[in-house]
A and B are shown apart, each in its own frame.
Chain A
Amino acid sequence: QVQLVQSGAEVKKPGSSVKVSCKASGGSFNNFAITWVRQAPGQGPEWMGRVIPILDTAYYAQKFQGRVTFTADKSTNTAYMDLSSLRSEDTAIYYCARDMVGLLDFWGQGTLVTVSS
C-alpha cells in the first residue's frame, strides 16, 4: 500500500516562495507519476500539474506556468513542489497524489500554505 507523507504547514509573506515535499513509501517512484492539486478554502480541487520521476518530466497547468516547479528525488522517493511569487490567493491546502495514468488513487495528507503579510 502506497503512503504519501507531506511536509508541515507553512506561513509565507506575499512575494516569497514555498517548497512542499511529498515522500512516498510502499511503492517505487519508477512506477508512477505524482500529481499536485491545491484546494482553496471552501473550493473544489484545482490541478496544478504532474511530474513523472522516472523520466524527470513535469507538466504544468497553464495557470501556474512560470511560477511552479516540480522535482523528484528518486533516491529518497520524495517529490517537491516549489511555488514562487506567492500572493494571498495562493492560500490553500496543497496535496500530492499518486497518478496512475490519470487516476489519483493515493493522496498525501495535505499541506496548508497560508500567505499573509
Chain B
Amino acid sequence: EIVLTQSPGTLSLSPGERATLSCRASQNVRSSNFAWYQQKPGQAPRLLIYGASSRATGIPDRFSGSGSGTDFTLTITGLEPEDFAVYYCQQHGSSPPMYTFGQGTKVEIK
C-alpha cells in the first residue's frame, strides 16, 4: 500500500501570503492518479487539483499543483480568508483499485 505523508502538519500564515504544502509518497505515483482536496469544518472534501496539476472546475487560479514520482506540491498564491482549511493529498491505483489519502495539512490564520 502506498503511504502519503504530508508536511507540515499545520501552516500558520496571514491572508495574502503564499502557502506551500508538500505530499511525499512511499512509492512512485502516476501523476494522472494524484489529487488534492480541501476540507472546511463540517463539510465534505472538495476536489481542487487532479492529475497532479490540473485545476478542477471552478477552482481559482491561485491554486496550483506540481510534482511527480514521489514528491508533490500544492501552492496557494495569495491566501484568501476562505482558503484557511485542511488540505489532503490522495492517490489511486487501478489494479486492484486502491485509494489512499495523506493525513492532512491545516492552513490556519496566523
Contact = CB atoms under 8 A, between A and B. Distances in A.
A61 B45 contact: no
A interface SS class: strand
Contact of A107 (B33, B45, B50, B99): B45
Interface size class of A (residues with CB under 8 A): 20 to 34
Q: Is chain B's binding surface mostly helix, strand, loop or mixed?
A: strand
Contacts of A35: 99
Contact of A104 (B45, B94, B100): B45
Nearest to B94: A102
Contacts, number: 49
Interface in A28-74: 35, 37, 43-47, 49-50, 59, 61
Nearest to A46: B101
Interface range, B side: 20 to 34
A59 B96 CA distance: 8
Contacts of A59: 96-97
Contacts of A45: 37, 45, 88, 90, 101
A103 B55 CA distance: 12
Interface of A: 35, 37, 43-47, 49-50, 59, 61, 95, 97, 102-105, 107-110
